[in-house]
């Protein structure tokens, strides 16, 4: 015999399930906040799930009509289950930027997040409740107006509950909300549905913008009889500065570059906490304070300005794409056909070195090559380095990293950083081998950092205003051949001091590269060129 439930009662049951199960992350967070307060009213603490239940019941009512209810909530249960898992286990918040990250993630990256823990959670909290919902018989109302009356009554009761709680505890809710403004972004399903709506609206329904060229006046300074300059710009992935031995970390994560004369910039902040924001931002002429994703998509950036100036450019890709910044210059996705470096889905970053020296053997003027690393892309950090680079053990050879010990997780992440250091050292040696044809330099800058369980957070993508330093403090490393430093009048002693004491960000990249490549344009701002104070000319 099938269970028979009225539409309004079923709506309340769904609201209760969402409150106590799928919104467990926000309830846990709320009570963690309360536990940190010197004192709080017990009635206020007890009212939190009641208010959430009433609010969800009210929001769900418009979708409780029988032809819509089952199908709509079956899909909602599945989606909310996935979101709940990410929030509960990784501390992920689904704002508009996170939705953009998800949409722009390729299948290879997405598959890295699939594991037994995710599937088990989704089956238990999403699929099985969804199947139960489909099996329930929706009992029709005797008369159409009875159903309407019940819905109005249920809605009024919800409003009354919220009003009574607000009358008694408004100051408590206002205080917690004011000090923790991100809490409203954690409610399932409203958080991700609203963010998804914003993303779709901004992406597909915003007013078309004309594409804007910048730096069309760009020109290169020329020095007679000088060798051309060759710079390799390496865009890192998910590396955090705290784990760099060059920055004082006690573990040997930079053994390959530490004796090559590199300069590590100690205090560098990212523009965002995800690739979809940081990469377009760092290559744009905008700063983090005035950055607009929409404007960046409809405007040229650093590479376009260098191209206007006649600099020879190329982009080699081993991550999830250049996010539009390389679209108008020669670029290539590295093939995944090398069995020693690739598994068919992804490749270790050494693949970026294949054929690089040969492609640069014949100088074609001042040249900038950009390499986009896979770096330390999680959660499958163990797939970012070959077995030969498995230095710190035991590591964590799985994607459900929250189930690894902290020691194993750190070991795995540090192995990925150590392997990146090995790749950078190989690049520097490649540049040294080209010194008879070019004045050479390398600059490495990661797009954003990573959380590894600190404060209950994993991965990245936390809204910038509340992001921990682990996600925004990024490594930046420079290497400059003696001939390059001499040609550019670059005082390396001064630069080492600046790297130790100065505070920089990805805002500096646009102007610093223009300065090093001796490109003049009205877009250039010397105050944002981090090398400018140490150039003697």
Residue 179 lies in a domain: yes
Q: Which of 169, 204, 239 is the last residue of a domain?
A: 204
> Tens digits of per-residue pLDDT, 440-456?
999 999 999 999 999 88
Range of the domain at 391: 231-482+502-534
Q: Are residues 200 and 236 in the same domain?
A: no
Is position 216 within any domain?
A: no
Alpha-carbon 396 to chain mean position: 21
Whether 493 is in a domain gets the answer: no
Identify the bridge partners of residue 138 per DSSP, sorted by sequence position: 5
Query: 111-149 pLDDT, tens per residue?
Result: 777 888 899 999 999 999 999 999 988 776 667 767 788
For the chain, the average pLDDT equals: 92
Of 332, 424, 342, the C-alpha closest to 384 is 342
Judged against a pLDDT cut of 80, whether residue 101 lies above it is answered with no
Least confident of 6-15, 50-59, 180-189, 412-421: 180-189
SS3 content of the chain, % helix, strand, coil (to 5): 55, 10, 35
Q: Is 188 in the same domain as 263?
A: no
69, 123: one domain? yes
Question: Taking every pair of C-alpha atoms in the chain, what is the biggest distance, in angstroms?
Answer: 94
Identify whether 104 is part of a domain.
yes
* Statement to judge: residues 348 and 306 lie in one domain: yes
pLDDT at 474: 98
The domain boundary, picked from 189, 204, 219, lies at 204
Q: Are residues 377 and 444 in the same domain?
A: yes
Question: Is the pLDDT at 386 greater than 60, yes or no?
Answer: yes
Q: Where are the alpha helices (DSSP H) in 180-249?
A: 190-204
What's the CATH code of the domain at 269?
3.40.720.10
Task: Specify whether 420 is located in the same domain as 457.
Answer: yes
Residues 290 and 389 in one domain: yes
- Specify if 509 maps to a domain: yes
* Total domains, the chain: 2
If pLDDT is split at 50, 70 and 90, which confidence band does 481 have? Answer: very high
Q: Is residue 35 part of a domain?
A: yes
pLDDT band at 2 (very low <50, low <70, confident <90, very high): low
Q: How far is it, in rounded angstroms, from Cα 476 to Cα 269?
A: 10
> Is residue 494 included in any domain, yes or no?
no
Q: Are residues 94 and 171 in the same domain?
A: yes
Residues 236 and 152 in one domain: no
Q: Are residues 443 and 523 in the same domain?
A: yes
* Strands 439-446, 519-520: pairing kind: unpaired
The DSSP bridge partners found for residue 368 are 231, 313
Q: Same domain for 300 and 337? A: yes
Identify each DSSP E strand in 69-181 by its residue range.
137-139
202-229: per-residue pLDDT in tens? 778 777 889 999 999 999 987 777 899 9
In angstroms and rounded to an integer, the radius of gyration of the C-alpha atoms of the chain is 27
For residue 1, pLDDT over 60 is answered with no
- Could you tell me which residue, 95 or 78, shows the higher pLDDT? 78
Same domain, 273 and 394: yes
């Amino acid at each position: 015999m099938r269970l028979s439930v009225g539409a309004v009662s079923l709506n309340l049951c769904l609201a209760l399930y969402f409150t106590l199960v799928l919104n467990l992350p926000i309830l846990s967070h709320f009570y963690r906040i309360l536990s940190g307060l010197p004192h709080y009213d017990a009635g206020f603490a007890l009212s939190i799930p009641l208010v959430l239940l009433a609010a969800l019941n009210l929001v769900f009512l418009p979708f409780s009509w029988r032809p819509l209810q089952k199908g709509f909530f079956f899909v909602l249960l599945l989606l909310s289950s996935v979101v709940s898992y990410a929030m509960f286990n990784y501390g992920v918040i689904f704002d508009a930027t996170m939705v953009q990250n998800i949409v722009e993630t390729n299948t290879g990256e997405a598959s890295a997040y699939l594991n037994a823990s995710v599937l088990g959670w989704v089956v238990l909290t999403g699929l099985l409740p969804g199947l139960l919902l489909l099996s329930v018989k929706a009992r029709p109302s005797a008369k159409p107006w009875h159903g309407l009356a019940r819905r109005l009554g249920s809605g009024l009761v919800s409003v009354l509950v919220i009003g009574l709680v607000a009358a008694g505890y408004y100051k408590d809710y206002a205080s917690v909300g004011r000090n923790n403004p991100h809490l409203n972004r954690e409610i399932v399903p409203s958080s991700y549905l609203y963010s998804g709506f914003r993303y779709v609206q901004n992406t597909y329904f915003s007013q078309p913008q004309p594409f804007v060229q910048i730096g069309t006046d760009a020109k290169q300074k020329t020095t007679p009889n000088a060798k051309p300059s060759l710079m390799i710009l390496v865009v890192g992935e998910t590396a955090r500065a705290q784990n760099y031995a060059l920055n004082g970390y006690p573990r040997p994560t930079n053994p390959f570059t530490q004796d090559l004369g590199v300069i590590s910039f100690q205090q560098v902040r990212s523009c965002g906490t995800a690739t979809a924001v940081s990469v377009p931002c760092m290559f744009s002429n905008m700063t983090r304070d005035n950055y607009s994703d929409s404007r960046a998509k409809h405007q040229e950036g650093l590479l376009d300005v260098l191209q206007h100036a006649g600099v020879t450019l190329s982009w080699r890709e081993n991550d999830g794409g250049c996010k539009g910044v390389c679209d108008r210059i020669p670029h290539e996705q590295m093939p995944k056909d090398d069995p020693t470096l690739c598994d068919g889905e992804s490749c270790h970053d050494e693949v970026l070195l294949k054929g690089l020296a040969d492609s640069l053997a014949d100088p074609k003027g001042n040249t900038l090559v950009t390499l986009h690393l896979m770096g330390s892309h999680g959660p499958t950090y163990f797939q970012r380095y070959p077995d030969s680079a498995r230095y710190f053990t035991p590591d964590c050879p799985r994607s459900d990293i929250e189930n690894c010990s902290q020691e194993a997780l750190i070991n795995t992440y540090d192995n990925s950083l150590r392997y990146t250091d090995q790749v950078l050292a190989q690049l520097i040696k490649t540049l040294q081998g080209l010194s008879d044809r070019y004045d050479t330099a390398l600059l490495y800058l990661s797009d954003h950092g990573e959380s590894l369980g600190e404060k209950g957070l994993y991965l990245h993508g936390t809204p910038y205003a509340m992001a921990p330093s682990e996600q925004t403090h990024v490594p930046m490393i420079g290497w400059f051949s003696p001939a390059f430093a001499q040609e550019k009048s670059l005082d390396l002693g001064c630069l080492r001091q600046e790297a130790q004491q100065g505070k920089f960000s990805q805002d500096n990249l646009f102007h610093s590269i223009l300065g090093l490549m001796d490109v003049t344009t009205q877009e250039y701002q010397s105050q944002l060129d981090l090398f400018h104070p140490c150039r003697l000319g």
